Amino acid sequence: MKYRTLVLLIISAILIPLKSNAINLGIPTEREFNKEKDLLLVHFDCKTDVDDLHSVAALVTLMSHSDFSEIQYHAVAGTYGIQEGLYVPPNDLFQLAFGDNWTDANENLSNAVEKVKTIALRTLTIKGDVWIAEAGQSDFTAKLIREIQLELPNLNVSEHIHIVQHSDWNEKVTSPVDLQFVKEHADYHKIPDGNAVGNGTPGFRTPNFSYWEEKVVDPTLMEVWQLATDIANKYNGKDGRYNNEAIAAGGLDFSDLSEVCWILGLKRIKDTQEFFNTYSY
């Protein structure tokens, strides 16, 4: 026991100065989401892949769980970038899932930026951090940060605004100017793709998972999932929209939730099955 204690003391003596030196040298250390004062923003592009609809249902399922029900969060629809293709109308689903706790950037971009800025400022002015899950591109986020900088010119954005992106494609169809801006000014994290299993983040694209009805217990969540799958099936691959093969096969794709899981420290969730087994009751 004495030997073990001595080893732990030596390790601590080594690690504490290393952490201190990293801070002094300006090397970023990993931050954790503070449930008491931080804000989670989830930005959905809804263009042209219908996977965002499943991701909305998965997000409200997670936020309804007792472990996360006290988290301050806000959803935004229509945060698309420069990609071509038609929008997937999500408003009925967003209203059912989030009530008044969402913003429509597709309807009025300027008003949406102003509204979300106001929400973010409430957190930033009490020394909380803003965490943004990019369930789409970063064009909206870049506009939001620019507006926040005008309001809080002394804010160190790279310390207090964290952006998480999982998709190479999302980066490619973000305006290059906006992508460079968020990478330079915010705390930007590119994580492994949520479409795959076993790469360090949860894999939530599952063509053979069609029995969500057996897993969801809460009647309200059941209604949300039903509407999400109905709208997704209606628009998947239609009128030139992206054809999501997992959804076309009758499965689920809420791969954008991998970023929320990363933010909340749920990186070890393996896949769709484990998500429902853990959070759908």
Q: How far apart (Å, rounded) are the C-alpha atoms in residues 78 and 279?
A: 27
Burial of 145: CB neighbours in 10 Å, binned 0-12, 13-18, 19+: buried
Number of compact structural domains in the chain: 1
In a domain, 215, yes or no: yes
pLDDT at 21 over 80: no
In a domain, 46, yes or no: yes
Q: How confident is the model at residue 10 (pLDDT cuts 50, 70, 90)?
A: very low
Q: Is the pLDDT of residue 167 over 90?
A: yes
Q: Average pLDDT in the 200-207 region?
A: 97
Whether residue 274 lies inside any domain: the answer is yes
The end-to-end CA distance of the chain, in Å, is 43
102: β partners: 75
State pLDDT tens for residues 61-90: 999 999 999 999 999 999 999 999 999 999
Confidence check: pLDDT of 7 > 80: no
The answer to the question of residue 15 being in a domain is no
Residue-number span of the structural domain to which 266 is assigned? 41-279
d(CA 37, CA 250): 39
Note the pLDDT of residue 280: 87
- Amino acid identity, position 279: Y
3-state helix, strand, coil in the chain (%, to 5): 50, 15, 40
- pLDDT, residue 30, reads 67
Q: Taking residues 140-160, what's their average pLDDT? A: 97
- Is the pLDDT reported for residue 19 higher than 90? no
Is 127 within a domain? yes
215 has a pLDDT exceeding 60: yes
CATH, residue 141: 3.90.245
How confident is the model at residue 281, as a pLDDT?
A: 76
Is residue 122 situated within a structural domain?
Answer: yes
> Residue 182: its pLDDT value, please?
98
Asked if residue 141 belongs to a domain, the reply is yes
Burial level of 15, CB count in 10 A (0-12/13-18/19+)? exposed
pLDDT averaged over every residue in the chain = 91
Residue 103 falls within a domain, yes or no?
yes
Q: 3-class SS at 276?
A: helix
